[in-house]
């Protein structure tokens, strides 16, 4: 069961969830070139898992899963972090996938903002009727 202003809270939950997803993507992109020693774990990309709120009351972040810390071993003998074989560990962050996800998340956020604004305007007009 939704509240009288349910459309506002549903759109707000969508905006909050999309903001979390955008934040995770930006963190992944910012760390795509992070280099670690081969003895250390690579940067672990964040993947946001969303779920619907029971009763159709919006969405929420169910969890944030981390990718494997294995990453990829890259030959970079000039790196100060390279091991005796000249290898370093880099995260396995796919920038194309991240940028595609960013576009989807930004458009979903924008759609939720539009729904929120339209619902707000409708409620304000309804309040004016009683004047």
What's the predicted TM-score (pTM) here?
0.87
pLDDT at 1 over 70: no
**Domain layout of the chain by residue ranges:** 7-129
Give the C-alpha separation, 22 to 4, whole Å.
29
pLDDT at 130 over 80: no
pLDDT digits (tens, 9 = 90+) for 46-61: 999 999 999 888 999 9
pLDDT digits (tens, 9 = 90+) for 7-51: 899 999 999 999 999 999 999 999 999 999 999 999 999 999 999
Q: What is the pLDDT of residue 124?
A: 87
- The answer to whether 98 touches 29, Cβ cutoff 8 Å, is yes
Where does the chain have alpha helices with state H? 6-30, 95-129
Helix (H) or strand (E) holding 76, with range, is none
> Residue 56: is it exposed, middle or buried by C-beta count within 10 angstroms (0-12/13-18/19+)?
exposed
Which CA distances in Å does 42 have to 9, 36, 96, 126?
Answer: 38, 6, 19, 55
Q: What is the pLDDT of residue 55?
A: 87
- Cβ atoms within 10 A of the Cβ of 79, count? 14
């Amino acid at each position: 069961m939704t509240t009288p202003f349910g459309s506002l809270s549903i759109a707000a939950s969508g905006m909050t969830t999309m903001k979390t997803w955008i934040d995770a993507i930006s963190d992944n992109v910012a760390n795509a070139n992070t280099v670690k020693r081969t003895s250390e774990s690579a940067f672990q990309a964040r993947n946001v898992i969303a779920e619907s709120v029971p009763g159709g009351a919006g969405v929420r972040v169910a969890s944030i899963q981390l990718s494997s810390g294995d990453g990829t071993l890259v030959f970079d003998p000039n790196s100060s972090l390279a091991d005796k074989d000249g290898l370093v560990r880099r995260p396995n962050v796919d920038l194309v996938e991240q940028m595609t996800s960013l576009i989807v998340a930004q458009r979903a956020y924008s759609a939720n903002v539009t729904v929120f604004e339209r619902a707000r305007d409708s409620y304000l007009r309804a309040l004016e009727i009683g004047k």
